[in-house]
Structure formats: structure tokens, C-alpha cells
């Protein structure tokens, strides 16, 4: 049988549903990428060696993020299937399984980062000055990754319930407002150096500007993760009431 090709008329209700989820999801990725790109531009003020150390930190953070992102996508897909089947108990169990897997994976990743720190630095660079900056910044990476992993799984599970605008708004506030703007304010802006006592305690030897940016990014991610899980709990309870389960 021959295929009869034809141009169909766009089905606006279907497109509207896709756009309602797709636009805020795409905007979330855009906000995240732009925040870390502008962070790199600001850190460049502190010179070549600090920029090199910052890039090692940034690359490792992005590499570690791949695990929670992959599990988050899988968990969201399975959770959405359970919701579509109106099996809310299975949806809750699947979501909880995703959270446990991500938390466990993040814990193992943190152990590898701590145990293999010197090997990781040698793999990245043979420049001692760059390695020294990176080593100072990497003291924060385990905490950063834990917060990053949990906010990642929280946002993906919310998307399984067709909630995409709230994660976007939280990322705008956390990553752009608190992380980027707050990091600039305390690292390079009018309040530059205000975090020096905290940096000296948490990341001794780290450059103030870059360390302030990463510390505020961690603060933003931690706040985002906490708020996302609070909203996720609210949405799960709301769906349970609607479905009578």
C-alpha cells in the first residue's frame, strides 16, 4: 500500500499543551546555562589562574550533574506514566525511588570526589597555580553537588505532574537572584569581601570573588531544593485528594 503524504492542520489544543510545559522547561535550562556563563565572565576578572581553577570546578559540577539528571528524566517518565494510569500510589513510590537513587548516587559521587581529589586535579592540569585554585574551590563541590542533585530530581518530579512554571520561578530566584546577583554583590560588587570570614573557614585559600560566587550559588541551589520538595509534597497530596487515594 502506498503512503499518501499530506500536510495536516496543526491541532492547537495539543500544541498548547506542549508549549505550556515546553516553554518553562526550556526557559529553566536557559536560566541555568546563562547563570553559570555569567559567573565565568565575572570570575575572569580575577585572572588567568583563577579562571582555570573555576573552569575545573564548573566542569566537574556539570559532569557530576549528569547522573541526577539522567535518573530524574527516567523517574519523571515512569511517574508520569503512573499518573496517566491513575495509579497515584505507584506514582508516589516511583517518585520516592527516584529520590532515593539520586541521593545515594550523590553520596557515592561525593565520596569519589573527596577520595580522588588529587587524581582528578592531575587529570585536569599540570599547572600548579591553577591546581591550587581548583583545590581550594573543590572543597565546596561535595556540598554543591548534593544540593544540585536534590534540586534536579525535585524539578523533574514536578514536571511529571505537569508543574513546570514553579520550578522555573524558583530557579530564577535561586540561581539568578540569590546565586548570580548575590554572588556578584558579595564577590565583586559593593559588598565585595563580606564573605571572607566564611570563605576562610569553608574554603581556605580560595580567591574571594570566585569563592563568593560558588558559595552564593550553593545557597541558591539549597534554597531551591528545599522549596521544590515542599511544593512537590503539596502537589502529591493535591493529586491524591483529587483521585481519592
Residue 204 is assigned to a structural domain of this protein: yes
Radius of gyration of the chain measured on its C-alpha atoms: 21
Q: Are 186 and 216 in contact (CB under 8 A)?
A: yes
What is the reported pLDDT for 91?
Answer: 94
Distance CA 231, CA 235 (A): 6
Residue 113 is assigned to a structural domain of this protein: yes
Residue 169 is assigned to a structural domain of this protein: yes
What is the reported pLDDT for 245?
Answer: 59
Residue 143 is assigned to a structural domain of this protein: yes
What is the reported pLDDT for 137?
Answer: 95
Tallying the residues shown for the chain, one arrives at 245
Query: Which cell numbers hold the place of 228?
Result: 521544590
Instruction: Provide the domain limits for residue 171.
Output: 46-243
What is the reported pLDDT for 244?
Answer: 65
What is the reported pLDDT for 61?
Answer: 94
Q: How many domains does the chain have?
A: 1
Residue 110 is assigned to a structural domain of this protein: yes
Residue 23 is assigned to a structural domain of this protein: no
Residue 31 is assigned to a structural domain of this protein: no
* Axis crossing angle, helix 48-84 with helix 117-124, rounded to the nearest 10: 110
Q: Which residues of the chain have pLDDT under 50?
A: none
What is the reported pLDDT for 1?
Answer: 55
What is the reported pLDDT for 175?
Answer: 82
What is the reported pLDDT for 206?
Answer: 93
What is the reported pLDDT for 123?
Answer: 94
Backbone angles phi, psi at 173, to 5 degrees: -70, -45
Amino acid at each position: 500500500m502506498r503512503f499518501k503524504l499530506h500536510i495536516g492542520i496543526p491541532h492547537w489544543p495539543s500544541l498548547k499543551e506542549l508549549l505550556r510545559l515546553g516553554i518553562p522547561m526550556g526557559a529553566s535550562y536557559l536560566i541555568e546555562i546563562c547563570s553559570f556563563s555569567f559567573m565565568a565572565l565575572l570570575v575572569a576578572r580575577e585572572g588567568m589562574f583563577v579562571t582555570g581553577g573555576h573552569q575545573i570546578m564548573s566542569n566537574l559540577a556539570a559532569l557530576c550533574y549528569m547522573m541526577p539528571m539522567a535518573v530524574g528524566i527516567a523517574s519523571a517518565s515512569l511517574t508520569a506514566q503512573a499518573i496517566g494510569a491513575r495509579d497515584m500510589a505507584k506514582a508516589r513510590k516511583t517518585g520516592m525511588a527516584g529520590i532515593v537513587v539520586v541521593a545515594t548516587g550523590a553520596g557515592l559521587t561525593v565520596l569519589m570526589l573527596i577520595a580522588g581529589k588529587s587524581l582528578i586535579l592531575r587529570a585536569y592540569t599540570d599547572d600548579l597555580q591553577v591546581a591550587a585554585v581548583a583545590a581550594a574551590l573543590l572543597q565546596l563541590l561535595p556540598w554543591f553537588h548534593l544540593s544540585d542533585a536534590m534540586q534536579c530530581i525535585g524539578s523533574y518530579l514536578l514536571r511529571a505532574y505537569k508543574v513546570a512554571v514553579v520550578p522555573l520561578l524558583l530557579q530564577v530566584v535561586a540561581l539568578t537572584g540569590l546565586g548570580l546577583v548575590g554572588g556578584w554583590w558579595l564577590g565583586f560588587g559593593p559588598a565585595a569581601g563580606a564573605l571572607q570570614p566564611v570563605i576562610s573557614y569553608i574554603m581556605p585559600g580560595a580567591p574571594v570573588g570566585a569563592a563568593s560566587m560558588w558559595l552564593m550559588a550553593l545557597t541558591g541551589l539549597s534554597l531551591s531544593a528545599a522549596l521544590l520538595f515542599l511544593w512537590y509534597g503539596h502537589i502529591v497530596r493535591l493529586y491524591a485528594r483529587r483521585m481519592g487515594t
